[in-house]
Each structure stands twice: as C-alpha cells, then as structure tokens.
Amino acid sequence: MKQKNAIYPGSFDPITKGHMDIIKRSAKMFDKLYVAVLTNSSKSCCFTIEERMEMMRKCTSDMQNVEVCTFSGLLAEYAKKIDVVTSIRGLRAVTDFEYEFQMALTNKKINKELETIFLTTNSKYMYLSSSIVKEIARNGGDISDFVPSVVLDDIKNRLQRKD
Ligand code: PNS
C-alpha cells in the first residue's frame, strides 16, 4: 500500500530541536505530514494547546507539506477520519521503547490500518526532552541549543514568568 500522508502526534510541550529533526525527516518521506499537537492525559502541560500550536506553526511555516492540527479523542480514530494510515514517533533510547510499543499496539488494535513508524532520533538529540528544556529554562539556563530559534523567546518568556 502506498503511504502518501502521515501524522506525527505529540504533546510538544514545548517543541525541541529533536522534534524538529523528526518533522523535517518525515516531511521528506511523505507528501503530506500532519503534526498533531495534543493533550497527553498522563502529563500536565505547561503550555496551552494554543501556545503549542502557535509555536509549531512558527517552526514549520516554511514547510509546504506540513499542516499543524489538533483534535480531541483518539489518535486511531482521527487517523481514520483524515485517511492517514501512518503514525510517526521518534525513539531516543531503549527507555522510550516500552511506552511507544504499548501505544503503537493499542492504536493498531483500535484501527487495524494504522501503522506506527519509529524514526531514531539524531544522536545529537538523544538526551533531549521537553522536560529538560523546561527545567533548564525555569532555572534561568540557556536553552538556545535545544529549541528552534524562532520560538526561543516565546519559551523563555513563558517559563521565566512567575504565574
Ligand atoms: O509527546 P507525548 O506526550 O509522548 O505524546 C503522547 C500522545 C499525545 C501522542 C498520546 O498521548 C496520544 O496519542 N494521545 C491522543 C489520545 C489517544 O489516542 N490515546 C491513546 C494512545 S494509546
């Protein structure tokens, strides 16, 4: 089966250079890439959906085949609705594997057409996570190596704000 479209779902709280690396590589592999900015019910997000979508739009504004979206409900059902059969996830290390494997199998149980493709993270970003970015920024550290420059100030201003 030819796969022309794919979806890359995540919390992106906030987006990192590791996420951008996965987006750029996926956008080369597919005609169209939906980047779905979502709420992970097992995490409490620091940035609102609107803030995370706005940052994602800024970071992907020069990528013609990338569309930023969001939805409520299940990824497996949304994929059916938009006629996508491929979900992309990045894998950093073996510690990611159990959670990712469980999620991929659950999604496939709900929607048997939906395949999950894992892209190995660029080794430069193996250690990087949104949580680390938040921790460094909240403590006044320099996050410029970790997040796309176009959203650096948005992230710094938001995380150093005391509310
Ligand atoms: O970046 P994250 O937090 O690891 O992304 C997790 C996310 C948002 C992709 C996952 O929680 C998700 O797909 N949520 C949508 C609801 C859903 O389909 N849940 C069942 C997944 S098994």
Q: Which of 114, 68, 65 is nearest to 88 (CA)?
A: 114
Alpha-carbon distance 158 to 163, whole Å? 9
Atom of ligand 1 nearest to the CA of 103: 22
Atom of ligand 1 nearest to the CA of 9: 9
Share of the chain above pLDDT 90, in %: 91
- Give the global pTM: 0.96
Q: What is the pLDDT of residue 3?
A: 62
**What confidence tens digit (pLDDT) does each residue in 57-94 have?**
999 999 999 999 999 999 999 999 999 999 999 999 88
For ligand 1, is residue 40 a contact (CB within 6 Å)?
yes
CATH number for the domain running over 5-157: 3.40.50.620
Q: What is the pLDDT of residue 143?
A: 96
H helical segments located in the chain:
17-29, 49-60, 75-81, 94-110, 130-138, 152-159
